[in-house]
Amino acid sequence: MLSVDVNSSPVKGKAKDDGRWRSNWWDFHPLVENIQRPVAWSTSSVIFTAHSSQPLLLGRLFPSSRQFIVPSPEPVIRSLSSFEPPSVISVAPNDQWLFAFYPGIEGDGIACLWKRGYQVDSWTVKECWPMSPGAGVITAAWAGVEREWITSSDGFCSRLPLRGPLTPVSNPTLLLVTQSHELYVCYARPYSPSLSFLCCSLVQPYFITEGQSRTAFHDVPSGPKSSRLCTRAAIGFMYTDSSLLVAMRSRRYPTTDSLAPVAHNDSDLGLPLDTPHGAMPEEQSPPLDWGALAEEQTIELCEVKLRFDGSAINLISYPLTPIYHSSLHLTNLAFTCAPPPKPDPNASPKSSPRKDKQSARHISETTAIFLVASFIDYDDYNSIPKSEMTSYSISRILPSPTVKSSWSIRQTGECSFAPRVILSFAPAWSPCNFRKSAVVVMLADTAGSKFRGGSRVKEVPVGCFIVLQLPDLSNDEGWDRPRIMSPVSRAGMDWPVSIAMSVNRTLLCAVSMTRVSIHCLPRPCASSPGPLSPLAMILTSALVSRRSIADITHVLCLPSTPTESIIETFSGLSLAQEVNARTGSAASLTLMEVIGAELEVYKYVVSSFSVHSLPNYEDVKEHLTSLWQNAHNICSVASTLSAFEDCKDQEGYDLDVVWQLVSLSEWAVAFLENIIKECLLLCDMTDVVPKVTELKREPIDDNPFFPESAPPADAISPFDIPALLHLVHPSLLANLLNMTSHVYQFYQWLNSMTARGESGQMARDTLLDVVDYSGLNLEALEDIFRNVHKEVSAIPGEQTRSSLARCHPVPAQHHELQKIVHMLSSSTAINKSRLFIKPSDLVDGFTNLSISAPPWKEQGKDVVTKAQLIRRGIGVTCLRCGQESEVVGEVGLPRHVLSMWRSWERTWMTRCVCGGSWVGASAS
């Protein structure tokens, strides 16, 4: 047996009041008691957990403190006291479906399926159905998952092969393993008002096709023997294989007839597998004692095929040879599978196997899927239990003239963790080598100190994470070992009973009996061989897959993450966007997706920035705030430009949405004014070489943007104003140019038309006032931007990526920025008096005169349409930027108006202009 090196054993001896914490055997006993406190982490970064005592399903919007309650199904609402908290929670990979099972206390349990709305906290019950006692759900999985995106170290994105069976005519396709050793397939056909169900046995060969009558789902035992209930199960999908595997661990429960020779009413137990009435005395087995409540020493396996023959869905099951293991307490069971290697383009697919130089083993077997199991055993109840892990390789033996298709099952690794105890594990995945299978293991110490550095602290390390590589479960040195922290008052007790990885495999949510905690998972120690760092590769894959990046943001903003790592990550992300834009391999990875990710990270930094001891604290916080606000303005420019493009035709702009385009024009003109003001304020500095004004910094532990060893590149220069990035970045300047052109064309088009009615006249006058009194000549400004764009386009890509990663110009762009500032300052496109002095400033005199931009977040403005919010408080809020909108409620236009504007507005019904997800305004 392989023993994993997990540091030295705890110090023994000394009294219990010597400043050390210690675990006892009963602290680990919940791991073997099959306590169910499920947790699931969705792709929109919502953590679903069960209430500790009530039949309620809770959702938390990570990393915020917002929580909401998922609506319960009607049977649960009618009788809350008849159901336990959910024991199984599973969310679909596309984040559109949610499943949970409520066990019944003295009757049927309830299985429920929800469908998500436009907001991440909006869920409605699609369907619910009863599950009889003894046939409750053990685990759930989703078939027909989309192919996963991966990113190579050079930034190129590609998709992995398909995993599991094809489901071309069903969405969703939910797989459920029950206590009665059965597999339910719950699916919805297109345009079907309700779910359909198929069920097969997992302990005997079974075949069922769609449309057959649903008779008995459970095999009635031949006699009053002990009942077998499945207690743990796992469902595994393989790449390029339409079959799926199910692994089960069972426990024997004695029936009433086996416990005593006197017959009892079988309804007392309430299990569907009980002995039927009228069993003859000679059919009864010998009495069993309570020792029969034992966990079986085998892991049962079954192959299941889910097929579609063109008209009906078929379900076929083939039980495989079980795996024997003598340990009495299985704590976790999971499948993991690495994608197969790419086929050799030099190998001819028509060559015969005999001419192939590879070994016969590789010819006859497919890529293996690994089954990993963890066990805990108590030698006695006076010492800490022993834990171990075992791995098995399961591969299909391809058919040959002499052998039919079968499976090869063999043990490949085994390891123990003494003196530590394994809490749980999950499949691991390295961004640098995604074809390598591994598992990340959560280990608990049994003793430790309550002090660090001679003083008592609030949290102490109580364990660590390690990564074991498959197939032999050897220690993988290519990963770090983050510590598991716990409050001093709970050290050595209240260990997690269930875990869930974040969507991008960077964080882990652990649920114990009393609390929910978040931990950082191991990260690769070595850097990637290409220009992209591991975090940049993970971030790129997340954006291409349209997954939330909240967990990556959390890691990037940790105090241990230096500033340069954040800049390096965003520079690599920009490079990946350019690489995929040239090849056309990942259309969903746009420049705005990159900007949205930067917005989220910089805003998270500001929200966690709390070092008030700095002399220049306000200046630092203001600078960081301006970074994410500038990123949001970049996204708003792009969305405004797309609105004008969508609402324009050969004859002009859509007359039905004049007011909507006027609102966007007002915002665009105000934004242009802000940029020009910044340029004019710098015009006196452009004759000299800009001097870098470095912020005075002190050692800070909880601010990653200003660590003790911060390089001089982090200094703030007068030319590092974020808004000026629009003038020296080719793509941003192109968007600014096109937006200016559309506003000017819309201004001319509306000015040349005769207004129809009072509303049209008011819209026309409003736009004329906005443009004429702005102090900007849009036509001349457009010409300047066009001339500047030719020179800006020649800036090297390294500079543009670096400036985009920092959200402000870099020193290498300052010279070009000087020329642009001079050109704007000396041009006739700007009327300085009108630009700086507005009529509204003169109403109350010069005391209110201000050359600074108005507050960035205008109260009562829609973040998408830039118009006034009609019904405040009932719209939606963006989780990323925190602004409100009413596009989901469709209050911008009457429902009978079918326009190009409505089509544009619908593109933002699921996401904000910054790429963030919507949440209901009432969520708290």
Q: pLDDT digit string (tens) for 878-910?
A: 999 999 998 876 544 455 455 788 889 889 999
Nearest Cα neighbor of 886 from 859, 857, 860 is: 860
| pLDDT score at 277 | 37
Amino acid identity of residue 698, one-letter, is E
> What is the number of other CB atoms lying within 10 angstroms of the CB of residue 502?
24
Q: Which of 778, 562, 569, 739 is nearest to 661 (CA)?
A: 739
- Position 725: which residue type? L
Nearest Cα to Cα of residue 156 among 592, 568, 572, 594:
572
pTM of the complete model: 0.87
Give me 909's structure tokens. Answer: 């019904």
Give the residue carrying structure tokens 């593109």: 907
Contact 130, 108 (CB under 8 A): yes
- How far lies 684's CA from each of 517, 689, 784, in Å? 54, 11, 20
The tokens for 54 are 């009530």
| CB-CB contact of 199 with 218 (8 Å) | no
At which residue do the structure tokens 């000017």 appear?
A: 744
pLDDT of residue 359: 41
* CATH architecture, range 18-133+378-450+459-525: 7 Propeller (2.130)
Asked whether the CA dihedral 726, 729, 735, 740 is positive or negative, the reply is positive
Q: What is the DSSP string of 116-178?
A: E-SSTT-EEEEEEEEE-TT--EEEEEESSPPPPEEE-TTS-EEEPPPBS---TT-SSEEEEEE
pLDDT digit string (tens) for 521-559? 999 887 778 889 999 999 999 999 999 999 999 999 988
What stretch of H or E contains 694? Answer: none
> Rounded to 5, what percent of the chain is helix, strand, coil?
30, 25, 45
Cα separation of the two ends of the chain: 51
State how beta strands 196-201 and 206-209 pair: unpaired
Residue 699 confidence (pLDDT) = 40
d(C-alpha 659, C-alpha 653), whole Å: 12
Q: At which residue do the structure tokens 């809490």 appear?
A: 423
Q: How far is CA 435 from the centre of its chain?
A: 21
Amino acid at 259: L
Q: What is the pLDDT of residue 224?
A: 37
Q: b or e along 22-49 (b: 16 or more beta carbons within 10 Å of the residue's beta carbon)?
A: bbeeebbbbbbeeebbbbbbbbbbbbbb
Q: What pLDDT, on a 0 to 100 scale, did the predictor assign at position 33?
A: 85
pLDDT of residue 800: 94
Is the distance from CB of 816 to CB of 795 less than 8 angstroms? yes
Mean pLDDT in each 10-residue stretch from start to end of the chain (924 residues)?
48 56 90 89 96 95 92 96 96 96 94 95 95 94 92 93 91 95 94 91 92 49 58 94 93 60 37 36 41 79 93 93 89 92 56 44 66 89 89 86 77 93 92 88 92 77 94 92 92 92 95 93 85 94 95 91 90 95 89 96 83 63 90 96 91 85 94 92 60 39 42 59 94 96 93 70 85 90 94 92 94 91 88 77 50 49 90 81 82 56 89 94 54
Segment (H or E) for 825: helix 814-825
Task: Report the alpha-carbon angle 530-508-463, nearest 5.
Answer: 100
Q: What is the reported pLDDT for 614? A: 55
